[in-house]
Amino acid sequence: MSKTVTVTGAAGAIGYAILFRIASGQMLGPDEKLRLKLLEIEPALKAAEGTAMELYDCAFPLLESIDITADPKEAFDGANVCLLIGARPRQRGMERADLLEANGQIFKPQGQAINDHAADDVRVLVVGNPANTNCLIAMNNAPDVPRERFSAMTRLDENRAVSMLAQKLNVGVEDIRDLVVWGNHSPTMFPDLFNARVKGQRAVDLVEMEWYENEYIPRVGKRGAEIIEARGASSAASAANAAIDHVRDWMLGADSLHSMAVASNGEYGVEEGLVSSFPVRLSGGGEYEIAEGLEVGDFARSKLEITVGELKEERDAVKQLGLIG
């Protein structure tokens, strides 16, 4: 049996960086045959066709077919894995409410189409920003799909946090385990060094609190902006890489805690229903479990309150706009 993978925003920068890796088997494993469905807006269909030509030209043994469409119903028909990457970027002069509304117009119908047309075992990863709230909108518009099937991406933030800590401590990235970020995929996110381990030691014990609070946390949070400043374009290959990590570990399992933004059941005092990044255990098969019983002291609690407060504001704004019930 092959899997149907739907990718939205397929003609964009992340789309171009991720499709070849999916088709080569890096996301679902070397034995899983794939049917790709690419969703784009009309003006970008031709560019998506160009990408599809290149995918065929790679002669990937796992790739069975590619369909390209501007119709969400067609794109999500029978989808087992959906990567919702396409989104409306913030433009000059756009208020946050305008951004949420513009994206709501994308993620509401996509949620409905997933509800009505995707496969029974569908799993959804939202990458397009504002990712947590776009995920909240899609999830709330797919009432027949269990909410554990929806997630938003904070794995890039985690990967950035791991890499920056490894450089600071002069260790390998593989020496760092259980480093997760909490909350919103935004500069308010909280990278947690209290529960992270470096060669078995608590990471927070290996750094100065001053550095952690005033350098590390802001730098991880603002890494996206730093990349735009340097590259003149937002992170694409590293975002694609993180999306591959996220889905691969969700489907195939991982032996460390990782970060996934998922619907809260009230864990750690995060209001029920918000899509917040949590530490998750991944046993494979598209299941996750929010890790309970981790240390959340006063410092972490105060950071968590800020980032979850932002999620609440976004949730209230999209509720007011009628994008969620």
Name the segment binding ligand NAI (CB under 6 A); options: 3-11, 20-28, 213-221, 271-279: 3-11
Closest approach, Cβ 2 to ligand NAI, in A, equals 23
From candidates 19, 86, 288, 300, binder to ligand NAI by CB under 6 A: 86
Name the segment binding ligand NAI (CB under 6 A); options: 38-46, 56-64, 277-285, 317-325: 38-46
Closest approach, Cβ 91 to ligand NAI, in A, equals 11
Contacts 24+ apart (CB under 8 A), 166-174: 168/207, 168/211, 168/216, 169/198, 169/206, 169/207, 171/198, 171/199
Residue type, 270: V
The verdict on whether 117 is a catalytic residue reads: no
Say how far apart CA 73 and CA 67 lie, in whole Å. 13
Q: Which of 175, 185, 169, 220 is nearest to 314 (CA)?
A: 185
Name the segment binding ligand NAI (CB under 6 A); options: 39-47, 55-63, 199-207, 210-218: 39-47
Per CB under 6 A, 156 contacts ligand NAI:
yes
Closest approach, Cβ 114 to ligand NAI, in A, equals 13
129 annotated binding-site participant: yes
Instruction: Please answer whether residues 186 and 310 qualify as being in contact, where contact means their C-beta atoms are separated by less than 8 angstroms.
Output: yes
127 annotated binding-site participant: yes
Which residue is it, tokens 């119709």?
71
Which residue is it, tokens 């080569």?
24
Residue 17 neighbours by CB distance under 10 Å: 18
* String marking each residue 180-209 x if it binds ligand NAI according to CB under 6 A: -----x------------------------
Closest approach, Cβ 93 to ligand NAI, in A, equals 18
Burial group, residue 104, by CB count within 10 angstroms (0-12, 13-18, 19+)? buried
Q: Which of 283, 309, 251 is nearest to 25 (CA)?
A: 251
Instruction: Please answer whether residues 68 and 40 qualify as being in contact, where contact means their C-beta atoms are separated by less than 8 angstroms.
Output: yes
As a whole number of angstroms, the longest Cα–Cα distance in the chain is 55
Length of the chain in terms of residues written? 325
Instruction: Please answer whether residues 100 and 141 qualify as being in contact, where contact means their C-beta atoms are separated by less than 8 angstroms.
Output: no
9 annotated binding-site participant: yes
Which residue is it, tokens 């909240």?
136
From candidates 4, 6, 8, 159, binder to ligand NAI by CB under 6 A: 8
Per CB under 6 A, 79 contacts ligand NAI:
no
Alpha carbon distances (Å) from 128 to 43, 98, 133, 295: 19, 15, 10, 31
The footprint of ligand NAI on this chain (CB under 6 A) covers a number of residues equal to: 27
Q: Which residues pair with 289 in a beta bridge?
A: 281
From candidates 7, 9, 140, 191, binder to ligand NAI by CB under 6 A: 9
* String marking each residue 99-128 x if it binds ligand NAI according to CB under 6 A: -------x--------------------xx
Nearer to ligand NAI, 63 or 153 (CB): 153
Per CB under 6 A, 87 contacts ligand NAI:
yes
Which residue is it, tokens 């946390």?
217
Which residue is it, tokens 């994206």?
103
Per CB under 6 A, 82 contacts ligand NAI:
no
Q: What is the CA 178 to chain-centroid distance, rounded?
A: 18
Closest approach, Cβ 239 to ligand NAI, in A, equals 4
* String marking each residue 228-257 x if it binds ligand NAI according to CB under 6 A: ------xxx--x------------------
Residues forming contacts to ligand NAI in the complex (CB under 6 A) are 8-9, 11-15, 39-41, 44, 85-87, 89, 106, 127-129, 131, 153, 156, 185, 234-236, 239
Q: Which residues are annotated as a binding site for substrate?
A: 90, 96, 129, 160
Q: Which residues are annotated as a binding site?
A: 9-15, 90, 96, 103, 110, 127-129, 160
Kindly list the catalytic residues: 185
